[in-house]
């Protein structure tokens, strides 16, 4: 990947709003000059995540996660440094420049940019034909018949492909080549438009960049028999990586800490129109590992919504089990046969509220499918054996025991207790008083950099911790500030007066240690110095707090 110029990185940092970026993952509230919220990197009930909107730092007092806005995007979006900078540049409209690269690297980057530009232009082209042409009336009638209003359809950029060479001719006029059209999946081998007479759903990545399309049949005489046809797999588009609507649902998923997964694109539109915002479509019944990784960056709580027929298919169950195995809290909303979420959009929140846990749902399915009581027992036991003990597992055991009329002595064999791993999380060791003094002093200087000259007067020997010595050196040298120290100063209320007092106490501690081994002549000198330090501390303690 091409290197981004340092000047562009600084421009991106300056333009980025760290509060807006973090708010896409967790709710923040203003607390003095900072913002606080629950940490997006670990489960917690009490907010311990601090964001500095000026320095654009974040720090979690619970798990220790820290960094700047670029680090936050790298961690949450699973991007490398350049990818995170590009993500922020797209978000905040910053034009970035690259260092000199090899011709091959530059060619690959330009080609990808060209294909993305072509696909976005195609989406706009299809949109206009759907809404502004007489030919779009059939598709518009279809959407109206599904109860989908124009507003939500425009939001998701639905379009219409006329076919022939309509799109290809327009692309040629704009300077795109036939090879680029083929690479983007927009023309077939004959050079004709790939999609013809179909309603188009643009398929975008998490950043909202169009990578392909899904096309729905509108006429029975369509030469393509399938109701839905996707763009061909290629350089940019891979169906198994995509979740329809993820780019528009990301913020809602993160804030509501849940994702509602449905089968079809029209289900997404109908639920979004009805006010259910954190909704995406798997574009099929089975969830893939890549789709789950995308969702896992935002939440670990899934509501899977499939019609009664699809929910029982083996592929669907495998997707559910894959999600459960990856640590997702899975809930299943099984709908009546022949109905999909779009048919039941009004009041759908109530259905989500009454969803079954995955284990309870799976237990019920296995019992219904079994030929007899003995087979049901074995099938349920095999499912439950793969999961550790939990309230959901206990609910499933009680359900199976009731349905199979199992005596208590038999219930133990239904779900033997799974041994829990012994690698428990170790609580962070509390800093002792001396280490706390050092860290608070450094935090005070981080927040009040006018005190850096005083810190510079204290040599490395004033700090016992090697880490603290390095942080001191970093502050004195004017290097990057540490987000944890910045957040600590705010949380501990370390104002400039307090910070100066902490620095004096570090000096006092050092003098006391020297006194222990000093000769008589040196002792008098050290005692005089100690007296001056104590007087300065008392003077600071008696002074009125100064404004920060």
Cα 172 to the center of its chain, rounded Å: 38
Retrieve residue 419's tokens: 């041994």
If you classify domain 103-237 with CATH, what class do you get?
Answer: alpha beta
What number of other Cβ atoms are within 10 A of residue 366's Cβ? 22
pLDDT of residue 419: 45
Q: Which two tokens stand for residue 440?
A: 């608070």
Is residue 59 very low, low, confident or very high in pLDDT (cuts 50, 70, 90)?
Answer: very high
HSE at residue 531, side-chain half, CA atoms within 13 A, is: 6
Taking alpha carbons only, the member of 28, 44, 50 closest to residue 443 is 50
Backbone torsion region of residue 118, taken as left when φ is above 0, otherwise alpha when ψ lies between -120 and 50, otherwise beta: alpha
Rounded-to-5 percentages of helix, strand, coil across the chain: 55, 10, 35
Structure-token pair, residue 33: 């000059």
pLDDT in tens, 178-220: 999 999 999 999 999 999 999 999 999 888 899 999 999 998 8
Cα atoms in the 13 Å half-sphere on the side-chain side of 404 = 29
Mean residue pLDDT of the chain comes to 86
Q: Are 156 and 245 in contact (CB under 8 A)?
A: yes
Phi, psi of 502 (to 5 degrees): -65, -40
Contact 332, 356 (CB under 8 A): yes
| Cα distance between residue 95 and residue 523, in whole Å | 64
Tokens coding 215 = 């096309």
- DSSP-derived secondary structure for 294-327: HHHTT-SEEEEEEETTGGGSHHHHHHHHHHHHTT
CATH entry 3.90.580.10 includes domain 6-91: yes
Instruction: State both tokens at 38.
Output: 């629950």
Condensed to tens digits (0 to 9), the pLDDT of residues 502-536 reads 898 888 888 888 887 778 778 888 888 888 888 88
How far is Cα 320 from Cα 284, in angstroms, rounded to an integer?
13
CATH of 246-414, one of 3.40.1360.10, 3.90.1170.50, 3.40.50.450, 3.20.10.10: 3.40.1360.10
Whole-angstrom CA distances from 332 to 213, 260, 355 are 28, 10, 5
Q: What is the pLDDT of residues 66-101, one digit of tens each?
A: 999 999 998 887 788 988 999 999 889 898 888 777
Answer yes or no: is pLDDT of 418 > 80.
no
Distance CA 275, CA 152 (A): 11
Note the pLDDT tens digit of each residue in 459-510.
Answer: 889 988 888 988 889 898 888 788 888 888 888 888 888 888 889 888 888 8
pTM: 0.67
CB of 73 within 8 A of CB of 87?
yes
- Domain locations in the chain as residue ranges: 6-91, 103-237, 246-414, 433-542
Rounded Cα distance between 358 and 114, Å, is 44
| DSSP letter for each residue of 92-138 | TT----B----HHHHHHHHHHHHHHHHHHHHHHHHHHHHHHSGGGHH
What pLDDT is stored for residue 285 in this prediction? 62
329 and 302 in contact (C-beta within 8 Å)? Answer: yes
Measured from the Cβ of residue 488, the count of other Cβ atoms closer than 10 Å reads 22
Residue for token digits 């203003």? 30
Residue 310: predicted pLDDT: 58
Contact 437, 499 (CB under 8 A): no
Of 101, 129, 22, nearest in space to 68 by CA: 22
């Amino acid at each position: 990947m091409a290197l981004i110029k340092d000047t562009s990185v600084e421009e991106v940092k300056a333009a980025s709003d760290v509060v807006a970026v973090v708010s896409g993952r967790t709710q923040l509230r203003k607390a003095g000059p900072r913002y606080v919220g629950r940490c997006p990197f670990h489960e917690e009930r009490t907010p311990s995540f601090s964001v500095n909107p000026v320095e654009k730092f974040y720090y979690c007092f619970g798990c220790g996660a820290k960094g700047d806005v670029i680090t936050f995007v790298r961690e949450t979006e699973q991007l490398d440094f350049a990818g995170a900078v590009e993500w922020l540049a797209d978000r905040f409209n910053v034009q970035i420049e690259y260092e000199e690269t090899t011709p091959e690297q530059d060619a690959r980057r330009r080609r990808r940019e060209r294909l993305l530009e072509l696909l976005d232009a195609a989406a706009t082209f299809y949109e206009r034909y759907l809404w502004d042409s007489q030919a779009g009336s059939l598709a518009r009638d279809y959407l109206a018949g599904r109860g989908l209003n124009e507003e939500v359809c425009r939001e998701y950029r639905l379009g219409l492909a006329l076919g022939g060479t309509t799109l290809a001719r327009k692309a040629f006029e704009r300077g795109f080549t036939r090879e680029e059209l083929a690479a983007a999946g927009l023309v077939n081998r004959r050079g004709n438009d790939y999609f013809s007479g179909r309603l188009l759903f643009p398929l975008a990545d998490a950043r909202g960049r169009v990578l392909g399309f899904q096309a729905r049949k509108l006429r029975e005489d369509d030469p393509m028999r399938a109701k839905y046809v996707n763009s061909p797999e290629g350089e940019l588009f891979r169906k198994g990586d995509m979740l329809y609507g993820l780019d528009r649902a990301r913020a809602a998923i993160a804030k509501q800490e849940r994702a509602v997964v449905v089968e079809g694109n029209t289900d997404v539109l109908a639920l979004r129109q009805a006010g259910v915002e954190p909704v995406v479509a798997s574009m099929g019944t089975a969830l893939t590992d890549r789709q789950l990784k995308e969702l896992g960056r935002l939440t670990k709580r899934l509501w899977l919504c499939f019609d009664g027929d699809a929910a029982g298919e083996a592929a669907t169950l495998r997707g559910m089990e894959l999600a459960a195995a990856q640590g997702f809290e899975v809930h299943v909303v099984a709908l009546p046969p022949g109905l999909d979420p779009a048919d039941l959009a009004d009041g759908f929140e109530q259905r989500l509220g009454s969803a079954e846990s995955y284990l309870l749902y799976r237990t019920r399915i296995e019992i219904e499918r079994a030929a007899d009581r003995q087979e049901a027992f074995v099938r349920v036991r095999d499912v439950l054996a793969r999961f550790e003990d939990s309230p959901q597992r206990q609910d499933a055991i009680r359900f199976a025991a009731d349905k199979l009329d199992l005596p208590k002595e038999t219930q133990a064999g239904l779900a033997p207790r799974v041994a829990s791993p012994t690698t428990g999380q170790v609580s962070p060791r509390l800093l002792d008083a001396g280490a706390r003094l050092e860290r608070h002093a450094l935090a005070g200087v981080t927040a009040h950099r006018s005190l850096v000259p005083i810190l510079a007067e204290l040599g490395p020997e004033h700090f016992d911790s090697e880490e603290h010595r390095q942080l001191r050196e970093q502050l004195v040298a004017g290097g990057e500030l540490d987000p944890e120290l910045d957040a600590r100063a705010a949380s501990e209320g370390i104002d400039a007066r307090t910070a100066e007092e902490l620095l004096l106490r570090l000096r006092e501690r050092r003098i006391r240690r020297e006194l222990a081994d000093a000769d008589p002549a040196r002792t008098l000198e050290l005692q005089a110095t100690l007296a001056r330090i104590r007087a300065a501390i008392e003077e600071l303690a008696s002074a009125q707090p100064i404004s920060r």
